[in-house]
Amino acid sequence: MKDRVRRIFSLLGDGADCLLLVNSAGPHIDSSFFYAFDVPSGMFEGSAAIARPDGSLLVLSSLLEEESARAAAKRDKDVSVEVVRNRDDREKRLAQLLDANARVALHYHELTHEDFRSLSAALPAARWVDASDAIRKARVVKDATEVERLRRAGAIGSKVGTEIPSLLRAGMTELELAGEIEYRMTRAGAAGRSFETIVGFGPHGAEPHFAPEGTALQSGQSIVCDFGALSRRYVSDITRSFHFGARDDEMKRVHEKVAEAQAAAFAVLRAGVPAREVHLAAERTIDASPWKGKFTHGLGHSIGLAVHDGFAMNARNDEPLLAGMALTVEPGIYLPGRGGVRIEDDVLVTDQGFEFLTTAPREYIEVAA
């Protein structure tokens, strides 16, 4: 935990005396709180963490999470814990702990307006510093513990991705398949889902963020399944596309082209390469096909404590990839009224290239109706 805090301050420079991470009520919980304070369970609503440049951390824990907080602190001599009962109690204690004129770094990207007003009232002379970019840059490169957890989340998602063809049957609904995917991830060891599972049959697969409905699976339809497992707060994000029943020659060719686009991205993906160049490698492959313009989103994003963890791999981002980044690579082709194909894998960027975090088969799979 100390190394993570120091990393944030190294990116902040000398512009702050402390970093204050504040949680509101769910779902407005700052995942960076858990980056600084590595505690495996609990929501920590209304909690706060005060980090110092020397790497020390004081956690003001809610009463509900006291046991988990103190157990986590016992494992790290640089972490201490106090219990606060509510927001007023928290703000009163912050006013006692922080110098009146302190330069206090806040995570503006996650802080609610209500909490900012409350902090401003408690610390009226404080000078606020936006730590959002420093936190983003710190989190985007994973340490060994984070990589281990991402591997576990990826392994769970990969196992379930391999099982999906055996689950398909005529008449099942998108919601049924989504529920079965989530149940199997839990049975395989996931603490939950990374995000709301996407399942789209036939034309619904042409909408990248489609929310599953009661639509029943029919022969001749393509299927897009986008899902992820949560393991010790870290996530995976995997998409596999299938075909059910009678062959659709065009959708087969679409799948092959998406696989080719993903391979083109993999061929250039390594530390030091600008994010946009990896995206463009996939986009050019698709735009040279009959489906030009049908790849409608960025190639990928970083993953970690959040599914979208602060880095985008798209045509606008010139930032170079860094060794230790965990990214999705997810080209797709979407044909409104017909269907879609997306193939998504999680990878760890290295100086030489990358390592797969997800391993489920990505080739074209037809399932008999």
Report, as an integer, the average pLDDT of 329-345: 97
Write down the pLDDT at residue 335: 98
* Residue 157 sits in the same domain as residue 288: yes
Positive or negative: CA dihedral 30, 32, 37, 41:
positive
Q: What is the SS3 assignment for 108?
A: coil
Confidence check: pLDDT of 1 > 90? no
Write down the pLDDT at residue 58: 98
The pLDDT confidence band at residue 270, using thresholds 50, 70 and 90, is: very high
d(CA 245, CA 325): 39
Confidence check: pLDDT of 254 > 90? yes
Look at residues 139, 154, 187 and tell me which one is the last residue of a structural domain: 139
The 3-class SS string of 203-272 reads HHHHCCCCCCCCCECCCCEEEEEEECEEECCEECCEEEEEEECCCCHHHHHHHHHHHHHHHHHHHHCCCC
* Residue 116 sits in the same domain as residue 103: yes
* Residue 176 sits in the same domain as residue 114: no
The pLDDT confidence band at residue 14, using thresholds 50, 70 and 90, is: confident
Q: What is the CA radius of gyration of the chain?
A: 23
> Residue 295 to residues 22, 77, 107, 323: CA-CA distances in angstroms?
38, 50, 33, 27
* Residue 220 sits in the same domain as residue 131: no
* Residue 98 sits in the same domain as residue 168: no
The pLDDT confidence band at residue 327, using thresholds 50, 70 and 90, is: very high
Write down the pLDDT at residue 20: 98
* Residue 148 sits in the same domain as residue 47: no
Percent of the chain residues topping a pLDDT of 70: 100
Tally of structural domains, the chain:
2
Report, as an integer, the average pLDDT of 58-65: 96
The pLDDT confidence band at residue 364, using thresholds 50, 70 and 90, is: very high
pLDDT averaged over every residue in the chain: 96
Cis amide prior to 27 (ω within 30 degrees)? yes
Look at residues 139, 164, 179 and tell me which one is the last residue of a structural domain: 139
DSSP for 300-365, please give it. Answer: EEB-SSSSS-S-EESTT--PBP-TTBEEEE--EEEETTTEEEE-BEEEEE-SSSEEES--S--S--
β pairing state of 326-329 and 345-349: antiparallel
Report, as an integer, the average pLDDT of 263-278: 98
CB-CB contact of 19 with 5 (8 Å): yes
Burial, 110: exposed, middle or buried (Cβ in 10 Å; 0-12, 13-18, 19+)? buried
Write down the pLDDT at residue 247: 87
